[in-house]
Structure formats: C-alpha cells, structure tokens
Amino acid sequence: MSDMSFTPARPLRLEPTAGETAQGSFLGDLWRLCVPYFKSPDRWIAIPLLVLVITFNFSGVFLSVVYNEWNGRFFNSLEKKDQASFFREMSIFSVLATLFILNATVRTFTNRYLQLRWRRWLTKKYLTRWLSGRAYYHLEIARSADNPDQRIAEDIRLLLSSTMLLSMGFLSAVLTLVSFLAILWTLSGPYTFSIAGSEITIPGYMVWAAFLYALLGTLIAHFVGRPLIGLNFRKQRLEANFRFGLVRTRENSEAIALYAGEGQETEGLTESFTQVLANYWKTLMAELRLSVYSVAYDQAAVIFPFIVASPRYFAAAITLGTLMQISQAFSQVQSALSFFVTNYADLAEWRAVINRLRGFDVAVDAAMHMPEGPTIEKSASATDVSISGLDLVLPSGRHLADNVELRIRRGDRLLIGGLSGAGKSTFFRAISGIWPYGKGRIVVPAGARSLFLPQRPYMPIGTLRDVVVYPDTESTADDGVIAVALRDVQLAGLADNLDEHAHWANRLSGGEQQRLAAARALLYKPDYLFLDEASASLDETAEAHIYQLLRERLPNTAIVSIGHRASLRQWHERQLEFAPGADGRSALVASS
C-alpha cells in the first residue's frame, strides 16, 4: 500500500469460450506450459528425474519383450508335457515378476517426485504472475478469467498428472510398437489366399491386421468421444463456480443470517449445482458411449488375433507356444496403436485443462500490460501530491468524473463527499495507482509512504501480530508497541492475543475491524492516509476517538477521508465533493 507506482491499463475482453480456445495449437500450448520448467534453475534435478522416468519406461518395454519370449517357451513346455522345462520356466518367471515389481515401484516414485517438484515450481510461477503488476485486481474488475484459484490449484495439478501419465503412456506405446512389430512380423509369417484363381501372399499379415483394427477403432473413438473436450472444459468452470458460491456463503454467514436469506442462498446454490449436474449428466452420457465402445473394442481385441492366426495353427505351420506369442505380440502392437482409443477420455480432459490454463495465461498477460490509465509520477522535488487533468472512467467506458484537479499537502485534513456512485472510491483507487481506466497526471513525492483504509479492511488469516502490522513486512514494532496501539484504539481485549492464529475477518465485528485498521495506521505512520468510509461501522463517539487519536499521533500526516456523516466535518479543514453535472459526469468542487 505504500507503493504508489502503477502499471497503466486497458480494458480486457471476456475470456474465450471453450470453442474459441479449442482453435489454438495443442502442441504449441503444451510446449509453452511445460517446457519452461526444464529450463528453470530446477532443471539440474528435473532433467535427470525425467531421464530416469523415461529409462524405466524403456526397461518396462524390454521386460515385456523378454516376457513374450518366455511366454512362447512356457506354452511349448506345456504342449510337449516337458516337466523339467516347465519348472525351469516357472523359476525364470519369478525373476521376471520381481523385476516387473521393482521397475513399477521405482518408476512410480520417480514420476510422482518429478510431478511434486514441477507443481511446486509452476504454482509459484503462476502465483507470482497473478499477484504481480496487480494482475489479480485487473482480472477481477475486467472479469476476464473466472476462478483463478481453481486454475492455479486444480488445473495445474491436473495438467502435470495428465502430462506425465499420457506422455509416458505414449512413449511406452511407441517403444512397444517398435519392439513388438518385428516380433509379430516374424512370428505371423506370410498368409496366402486365392481370389479368382490367383494366389495372393501377404507377408507379416498379422501386422497389417493390427494396423487396420487400430485405425478403424481410433476413427470411431474420435467420433464417439469428441464432445468430451468441451464438456470437460465446462465442467472445470462450473465446479469452481459452485465451490466459490459455498465459500462465499460461509464467509458471509452472519449477514445472510441477519437477512434471513437462507432461501435465496439455497436457491442460488441449488441453481449453480443444477448446472454442475446437467453438465455432469451430459459428460456421463458421452463417457458411457465411449466406455461401451472401448470395452467392446478391447474384448474383440482378445479373440481377434486367435481368429486371424488360427488357420496357420490348424495347418500345423506354428506351435501352440508360437500362437500364444503371436496373440501376445498382437495385443501389444494393437494396444500401442490404440493408444488414442484407450486414453481418449483422459486426452479430452487434458485438452480442456490446457485450454483453461492458456486462457488464464492470456488474461494475466493482458492484465499485466495495460497501456492506458492515469500517469503516476514520483518526483524528488515534489512536496505535495498533485493531481491534474484526471478523468475517471468505468470499465464499460462510462465517464465518472472529468478534469479533477487537487493538491494534497503534508498535514492536510481533507473530507470528500458526494452521492453514492459519483466516483469517490474510484478517485482513491486512481491515486493509489490501481485503477487502470481513465487518464490524467498524479505527482507524488519520491519516497512518500501512503496507506489506504477501505470501509471493509482486509484481515489476512494468521497471527494477530501479523494482521495488525499488515501490509508492512518490514515493521520494527515490537509486541509492546503493537499492544499499546490496540489499547489506544479501544481493543484492549486483544492486546494479549498477538500469537493467536485465526480467521480474524470472522472473529471481529465490522467496528472492531475498522479500529484494528486504525491501529495499523498508528504503527505504519504514513505520510498520506486515505480513509474510504473507514469509520462507517463505528458510533460517533468511537469515530471521534479514532480521529482525535490520528490527529494527535500523526500530526504531519495528510488525512483524506471519504464520508457522509456531518460529524466528520469537525476533523477536517477542507471539504470537497463530487457533484454531478448535467451530462452525468462529476466534478470535484468545494463543499458549502
């Protein structure tokens, strides 16, 4: 709050719809989201971990090839009734099974550990960008991206888990395809048949059968499952909206209870949840259709290789062991080729998550680079805050006030009034440097400390000590000084609870929160103190006590107040108000 610097702003367009976001390059979006981590300072651990994950995927495929060879020998021993060979193969199987277990265990741990570090880095990156340049605030006033909390907490987690699962699955599919393709080609041999008296021979015919089976299956899966991309995108947004509604109700429980507004809240939350259920039902139907098809596809894949390879077995061209090897090799090749069929639902959700994060990136980038707005200048030669030619504009483009001129000197006591909606609070936002709409010039003394106290003070969750000194992270006030400040603002009952950790916005009444905010001002000792109806929840006696305290303890601080009470006039030497003109635009004029 002490920093009055400002990044200029421009209006943002609303977030793209699911259909709009689907037009982007999937691989390009994935590259922009994932690759930066492997170029970060954490790359010296991230890259070796990724190499280990890939290595264990390679070794898993290698073990599958070895198992395929073992499978042929094992069934041949059964066909020949060779007991010695049977038990030898069983002992080999125990070794293979142990290696499979070790491989899966180490691969899973390495994969999850990489995701853990990756999520930590990516979450910190998103939090930093969201909270930098007041992007979080600009997103809210422009309504350019819904539920940033859900995107940072949930979408990042889903992005990383899906990326590792599907990318490693795809890599394994490619390795499996390469490894078993040659095996299947060799084992299946040529297939000869006659058409119109001509003999036709197809070499490695089981390979071609696997390709045709997987190609047809993938095309049908895409046709059946394509609606899931848009449905999953919408699901994430609707679920986040419903959670936000629940949290908002909890945070405002007292106000709702006083209004007896349970009926309206129930209606609103029910409507929100109805949208969740409606989308869930559509998603369920789409997933059911895809699931029915996928199960049928997988079941047919079990018997298909036996049907195609059986003629050569019954012709005694291959042994039972070879037939079983062909079946397993076909299964591996077909499974590798059917990667998109098997994982279509996960791929659809993955794409939806990437779309949401990309939309969030676009919105944050725009919020951080707004080119218009009032100009804030820090001048070493300035002794006062000087405001000239200030136009206040709403995001809709409607003008609130034009050509505001004002000089605020050290030690000033200034009261600003006017009708609700005339632009008083927006005027404060412009001075603080957070309002991105409008134009004008605001000059502030270099190094000046300013503090803005809104009508509803922000109470972070934490110890009372941290709440009182907020936002001064470099405060040198010791517990004794903080306790005195609390007693001075008539919060003596809290002075001994500085180490208590709580949700203070729920613990303290509106008046107590405003008194605590006054204690912040006493500790912070700003050069310029702006109070936006910061005593509205106090009775006139308590209000007079706070203003008397501020006048005595901060004699050189300029105090600028927004308020409607006549009792505030005695504490201010100048009174101004935003008076609306004939065109609906306000002007700052002296109050009578």
pLDDT digits (tens, 9 = 90+) for 16-30: 433 334 445 777 888
Q: Which of 44-53, 252-261, 552-561, 564-573 has the lowest mean pLDDT?
A: 252-261
Q: Based on the domain organization, do 137 and 225 belong to the same domain?
A: yes
- Answer yes or no: is pLDDT of 502 > 80: yes
Buried b (16+ CB within 10 A) or exposed e, 302-339: eebbeebbeebeeeeebeebbbbbbbbbbbbbbbbbbb
CB 192 within 8 A of CB 177: no
CATH classification of the domain holding 384: 3.40.50.300
Three-class SS string for 137-183? Answer: HHHHHHCCCCCHHHHHHHHHHHHHHHHHHHHHHHHHHHHHHHHHHHH
* pTM for the full predicted model: 0.68
Q: Based on the domain organization, do 309 and 391 belong to the same domain?
A: no
129-143, 268-282, 288-302, 401-415, range with greatest mean pLDDT: 401-415
How high is the pLDDT of residue 259?
63
Closest CA relative to residue 158, chosen from 301, 386, 352: 352
Q: Based on the domain organization, do 361 and 389 belong to the same domain?
A: no
pLDDT band at 190 (very low <50, low <70, confident <90, very high): low
Q: Based on the domain organization, do 487 and 570 belong to the same domain?
A: yes
Between CA 94 and CA 96, with CA 95 as vertex, the angle to 5 degrees is 90
- Answer yes or no: is pLDDT of 385 > 70: yes
Q: Based on the domain organization, do 342 and 385 belong to the same domain?
A: no
Q: Is residue 549 part of a domain?
A: yes
CA 156 to mean position of chain CA atoms: 6
CB 415 within 8 A of CB 572: yes
- Answer yes or no: is pLDDT of 397 > 90: no
pLDDT digits (tens, 9 = 90+) for 318-328: 777 777 777 77
Q: Which of 365-369, 443-447, 505-509, 575-579 has the lowest mean pLDDT?
A: 365-369
How high is the pLDDT of residue 2?
37
How high is the pLDDT of residue 22?
42
The mean pLDDT value for 311-333 works out to: 73
Cα separations (Å) of 243 from 233, 301, 366? 16, 42, 26
Q: Which of 342, 368, 394 is the last residue of a domain?
A: 368
- Answer yes or no: is pLDDT of 261 > 80: no
- Answer yes or no: is pLDDT of 549 > 50: yes
Buried b (16+ CB within 10 A) or exposed e, 87-106: eebeebeeebeebbeebeee
Residue 284, number of CB atoms within 10 A of its CB: 13
pLDDT digits (tens, 9 = 90+) for 51-74: 999 998 888 878 877 877 787 788
Q: Based on the domain organization, do 29 and 132 belong to the same domain?
A: yes
How high is the pLDDT of residue 140?
78
- How many distinct structural domains can be found in the chain? 2
16 CB-near residues (< 8 Å, 6+ apart): 359, 362
CB 363 within 8 A of CB 12: yes
Look at the alpha carbons of 364, 366, 372, 378 in this order and tell me if their dihedral is positive or negative: positive
Q: Based on the domain organization, do 395 and 360 belong to the same domain?
A: no
Classify 438 as helix, strand or coil.
Answer: strand
How high is the pLDDT of residue 521?
93
Q: Is residue 5 part of a domain?
A: no
What gap in Å lies between CA 144 and CA 45, rounded to an integer?
Answer: 36
- Answer yes or no: is pLDDT of 479 > 70: yes
- Answer yes or no: is pLDDT of 487 > 90: yes
How high is the pLDDT of residue 121?
93
Q: Based on the domain organization, do 199 and 109 belong to the same domain?
A: yes
Name which residue leads in pLDDT, 33 or 252. 33
How high is the pLDDT of residue 255?
65
CATH classification of the domain holding 296: 1.20.1560.10
Q: In the chain, pLDDT over 90 holds for what percent of residues? A: 21
- Answer yes or no: is pLDDT of 5 > 50: no
- Answer yes or no: is pLDDT of 315 > 80: no
- Answer yes or no: is pLDDT of 135 > 50: yes
How high is the pLDDT of residue 11?
34
The mean pLDDT value for 65-94 works out to: 81
Q: Based on the domain organization, do 359 and 396 belong to the same domain?
A: no
The mean predicted confidence, pLDDT, of the chain is 81
Closest CA relative to residue 337, chosen from 190, 189, 204, 217: 217
Q: Which of 346, 368, 390 is the last residue of a domain?
A: 368
Closest CA relative to residue 439, chosen from 472, 404, 467, 473: 404
How high is the pLDDT of residue 49?
93
How high is the pLDDT of residue 287?
77
How high is the pLDDT of residue 414?
92
The mean pLDDT value for 195-202 works out to: 67
How high is the pLDDT of residue 9?
33
How high is the pLDDT of residue 592?
57
Q: Based on the domain organization, do 271 and 330 belong to the same domain?
A: yes
Q: Is residue 48 part of a domain?
A: yes
Domain range for 321: 18-368
Name which residue leads in pLDDT, 185 or 88. 88
For residues 283, 287, 290, 294, the Cα torsion angle rounded to the nearest 10 degrees is 170
Closest CA relative to residue 357, chosen from 163, 166, 145, 161: 145
Q: Based on the domain organization, do 379 and 310 belong to the same domain?
A: no
